[in-house]
Amino acid sequence: MKLPNIKILDEANKKLRVVSKEVNFPLSRADKKNIEDMITYLKMSQIPEYEEKYKLRAGMGLAYIQIGEPKRIFVIVEELEDGSFKDYIIINPKIVSHSEEMIYVGEGEGCLSINREVEGIVPRYARVTISYQDIDGNYSKIRVREDIAIAFQHEIDHLNGILFIDHIDPKNPFKDANKYREI
């Protein structure tokens, strides 16, 4: 596999605070290529051999704004137990429902745009249902749970100009941890 030539914006870049725009169909060839490159990059970041060779930080999701494009597109690459990958290409997403139960990642959320350790909890819904369009513009719905639900909410935040660090109370990073379930 060849490492795609994509540049992920750092948190200091003000573009990450832009609210991304709805996408019109059909997608351009350039958009399809970017989506393909983002998926390849994420897969390579999760394979130890490539992670080491290219000095990558493991990531499972990327929003289009992280490569400097303010379009409502994100991809998630989930490594399955058998070592294969499941790709999600989500365009123009909307959260249509969510659980009452809230969860958080015990070891803390991470982000390919934030190149530092950040302590604190980010409360997220345990389950969310998302309406979206696929790469061909077809409408669909998906219900996700646990770590994938967290990833979806994290990427949707990116589309709205929000970084996960915005959810952490700087004075009390573990505030209300007892109110949520750790995963």
The answer to whether residue 155 is catalytic is: yes
Query: Residues 11, 51, 52, 155: which is the catalytic one?
Result: 155
For residues 74 and 135, give the distance between their C-alpha atoms in angstroms, rounded to a whole number: 11
| Residue 118 identity (one-letter amino acid) | V
Which bin fits 176, alpha (ψ -120 to 50), beta or left (φ > 0)? left
Residue 138 CB burial class (10 angstroms; 0-12, 13-18, ≥19): exposed
**Helices first, then strands: H and E counts in the chain:** 3, 8
| CA atoms within a 13 Å half-sphere pointing along the CA-CB vector of 181 | 13
Active-site annotation, residues: 155
